[in-house]
C-alpha cells in the first residue's frame, strides 16, 4: 500500500472498517464528561478550552475507543481514550471490532504517514476547511502484525518513546530556565540600572520598588507620542485611496516583526501620513492574548507599512531611546502589569489611554544607551544558546516521529528486542494547552 509501502510477509493489510466501526451515539456533556482531542492524546476538557453551545449533541466516547479530529487544521490531534466521556461532532470515534492492542493503533494512527494519508482522503475548499469523514477514511488500509507482535511493538515504543520524551522534557526545561534568566537580566537592568552600588530611593510605584536615586518616574505618554492605528476600511473612498500593507496583532511579537504575510487595506493620503510606520517606531499590540507585546521597527526599504487599529505606534521624543522603551514594555508585561492595567479583563485591551499612563523610569540618555547595549549583548548570547537547544529538541522530535513510523509499518523489526524496565514519560507540551482543539466548531 502506498502510504506504508512493503510490510513483513507474515503481516496483513486490512481496511479501517474491517478493524473498527464508527461510534455515532450522541450524548450530553452533562452525563458524559467532556473530553478534548489534542496532539497529546485524549484528555479531560480543560476550563479554558473554546467550547460550543451544543452540550446536548456530542459524540459518545468509551474507554478503548480511538478518537481523531476530522479537520486538517487540527492535524495530528487523536489518540486512544482512557476515559468514558464525550467529544464534539468534529471528531470521529472508532470502536475496535475485535480484540487488538489499542496502544498499537494509538501509535499507528498517530504516525506521520497515516496522518498524511488520512487528510489526503478528505475534501474541502481550502486547506483550513479540509475535512476527512468516516466514509472517506474507512477504506484506508492499515498494516496489521500478529497480536503478539503488536504487544512487542507497544512495549518497545513505550520504552523508546519514554526515553526520548525524557530527553525532550530536559531540553524544554533548559530552554525555560534560559528564558527565565533572560527575563531576569532585563528586569534588573531596566528597573535597577547597571550599577548596583548607586544610592537608591523609593520609586513611589508599588510593583517597581526602589530605583537609583538620580532616576525619575513619569508616564510613557510624557516621553512618547502615541498613535492608535486606523480602523479597517473595506472599500476605497472617492477613488483616491490606495491599497497598502498594514501590521495587525499577529505580526508583532517581542521576538520580532513579521512582514512575510501582511494584509492590505485602503488608505487615503492623509491616512498614510498619519499611520505610516517609521524606522525607530515601537509597535505595541493593543488587545487579546498578546496585549502589550511590542517590537522596534527598524526596516529601511522601498516598502511602506502602516498600522491597523489593533496596533499603536509609540514614537519616542526628546532623549528617549526606542529600544529602551521596548525593553521596558517587555519587563512590565512579564511582571503582570498589563493584567493590572486592564483590570484582569477576559480579553485585555491595553488602550492608548492605559499605555499613556503606564509608569516608566526617566534616566539620562547615555545611561539608556548603556542599558540597551548591555541587554542586546546579553540577550543575543542567551538567544544563541536557546536556539541551539531548540534545534536539538527538534531533532529529537524528528527522530521520535521516524522511529514510530518505521516500527509500526515493519521497517524496523523489534521482534526479540529486550526492553528495559519501563519508566513511562509523556512529553510535557504546555503550548498544546493553549491550542487545545477538542471542542472548537
Taking the whole predicted model, whether its pTM rises above 0.75 is answered as yes
SS3 label, residue 143? strand
Average pLDDT, whole number, for the chain?
A: 88
Report the candidate in 299, 363, 352 with the shortest Cα–Cα distance to residue 328: 363
pLDDT of residue 230: 81
> What single-letter DSSP state applies at residue 215?
-
Which residues lie closer than 8 Å to 100 by C-beta, 6 or more apart? 19, 147, 150
pLDDT of residue 436: 42
**C-alpha to C-alpha distance for 333 and 328, rounded to whole angstroms:** 9
Percent of the chain whose predicted confidence (pLDDT) is above 70:
91
Torsion of CA 348, 353, 354, 358, to 10 degrees: 160
Cα 415 to the center of its chain, rounded Å? 38
Cβ count near 49 (within 10 Å): 18
Higher confidence at residue 159 or residue 50? Answer: 159
pLDDT of residue 438: 43
Q: Mean pLDDT over residues 111-117, rounded?
A: 94
Torsion sign, CA atoms 142, 96, 24, 60 = negative
Domains of the chain, earliest start first: 12-167+392-434 (3.90.220.20), 194-362 (3.90.220.20)
Strand partners, 21: 95
Report the candidate in 68, 122, 76, 72 with the shortest Cα–Cα distance to residue 93: 68
What secondary structure does DSSP assign to 4-66, as a single string?
T----TT-EEEEHHHHEEE---EE-TTTS-BEEEETTEEEEPPTTS---S-TTSEEEE-TT-E
Main-chain phi, psi angles of 8, to 5 degrees:
-55, 150
Residue with cell string 489593533: 310
Cβ count near 395 (within 10 Å): 11
- The answer to whether the beta carbons of residues 251 and 259 sit under 8 Å apart is yes
Which residues lie closer than 8 Å to 374 by C-beta, 6 or more apart? 189, 194
345 pLDDT exceeds 80?
no
pLDDT of residue 87: 94
**C-alpha to C-alpha distance for 305 and 276, rounded to whole angstroms:** 6
SS3 label, residue 200? strand
pLDDT of residue 37: 92
Model confidence pLDDT, tens digit, residues 396-430? 999 999 999 999 999 999 988 988 877 788 887 65
Model confidence pLDDT, tens digit, residues 291-333? 899 999 987 667 899 998 889 999 988 889 999 999 999 999 9
pLDDT of residue 347: 73
Q: Mean pLDDT over residues 5-26, rounded?
A: 94
- The answer to whether the beta carbons of residues 296 and 203 sit under 8 Å apart is no
Main-chain phi, psi angles of 324, to 5 degrees:
-65, -40
Residue 439: pLDDT band with limits 50, 70, 90: very low
14 pLDDT exceeds 90?
yes
Cβ count near 219 (within 10 Å): 14
**C-alpha to C-alpha distance for 212 and 362, rounded to whole angstroms:** 10
Q: Residue 49 to residues 82, 90, 111, 267, 440: CA-CA distances in angstroms? A: 20, 15, 25, 37, 8
Model confidence pLDDT, tens digit, residues 56-107? 789 999 999 999 999 887 888 999 999 999 999 999 999 998 767 788 999 9
Amino acid at each position: 500500500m502506498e502510504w506504508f509501502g512493503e510490510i513483513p510477509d507474515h503481516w496483513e493489510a486490512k481496511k479501517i472498517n474491517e478493524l473498527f466501526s464508527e461510534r455515532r451515539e450522541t450524548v450530553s456533556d452533562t452525563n458524559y464528561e467532556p473530553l478534548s482531542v489534542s496532539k497529546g492524546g485524549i484528555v479531560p476538557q480543560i476550563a479554558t478550552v473554546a467550547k460550543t453551545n451544543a452540550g446536548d449533541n456530542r459524540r459518545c466516547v468509551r474507554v478503548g475507543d480511538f478518537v481523531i479530529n476530522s479537520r486538517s487544521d487540527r492535524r495530528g490531534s487523536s489518540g486512544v481514550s482512557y476515559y468514558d466521556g464525550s467529544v464534539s461532532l468534529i471528531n470521529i470515534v472508532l470502536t475496535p471490532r475485535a480484540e487488538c492492542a489499542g496502544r498499537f493503533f494509538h501509535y499507528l494512527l498517530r504516525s506521520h504517514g497515516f496522518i498524511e494519508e488520512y487528510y489526503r482522503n478528505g475534501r474541502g475548499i481550502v486547506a483550513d476547511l479540509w475535512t476527512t469523514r468516516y466514509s472517506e477514511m474507512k477504506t484506508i488500509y492499515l498494516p496489521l502484525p500478529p497480536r503478539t507482535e503488536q504487544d512487542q511493538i507497544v512495549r518497545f515504543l513505550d520504552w523508546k518513546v519514554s526515553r526520548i520524551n525524557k530527553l525532550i522534557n530536559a531540553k524544554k526545561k533548559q530552554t525555560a530556565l534560559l528564558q527565565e534568566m533572560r527575563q531576569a537580566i532585563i528586569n534588573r537592568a531596566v528597573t535597577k540600572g547597571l550599577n548596583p552600588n548607586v544610592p537608591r530611593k523609593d520609586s513611589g510605584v508599588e510593583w517597581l520598588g526602589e530605583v537609583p536615586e538620580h532616576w525619575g518616574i513619569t508616564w510613557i505618554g510624557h516621553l512618547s507620542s502615541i498613535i492608535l492605528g486606523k480602523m479597517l476600511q473595506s472599500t476605497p473612498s472617492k477613488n483616491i485611496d490606495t491599497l497598502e500593507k498594514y501590521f495587525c496583532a499577529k505580526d508583532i511579537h517581542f521576538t520580532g516583526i513579521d512582514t512575510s504575510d501582511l494584509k492590505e487595506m485602503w488608505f487615503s493620503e492623509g491616512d498614510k501620513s498619519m499611520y505610516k510606520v517609521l524606522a525607530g517606531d515601537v509597535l505595541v499590540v493593543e488587545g487579546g492574548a498578546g496585549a502589550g507585546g511590542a517590537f522596534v521597527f527598524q526596516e529601511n526599504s522601498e516598502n511602506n507599512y502602516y498600522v491597523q487599529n489593533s496596533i499603536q505606534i509609540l514614537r519616542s521624543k526628546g532623549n528617549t531611546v526606542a529600544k529602551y522603551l521596548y525593553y521596558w514594555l517587555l519587563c512590565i508585561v512579564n511582571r503582570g502589569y498589563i493584567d493590572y492595567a486592564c483590570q484582569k479583563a477576559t480579553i485585555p485591551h491595553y488602550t492608548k489611554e492605559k499605555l499613556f499612563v503606564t509608569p516608566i523610569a526617566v534616566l539620562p540618555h547615555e545611561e539608556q544607551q548603556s542599558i540597551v547595549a548591555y541587554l542586546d549583548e546579553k540577550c543575543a548570547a542567551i538567544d544563541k544558546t536557546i536556539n541551539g537547544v531548540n534545534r536539538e529538541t527538534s531533532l529529537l522530535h524528528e527522530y521520535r516521529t521516524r522511529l514510530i513510523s518505521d516500527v509500526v509499518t515493519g521497517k524496523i523489526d523489534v521482534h526479540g528486542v529486550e526492553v528495559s524496565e519501563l519508566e513511562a514519560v509523556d512529553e510535557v507540551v504546555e503550548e498544546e494547552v493553549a491550542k487545545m482543539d477538542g471542542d472548537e466548531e
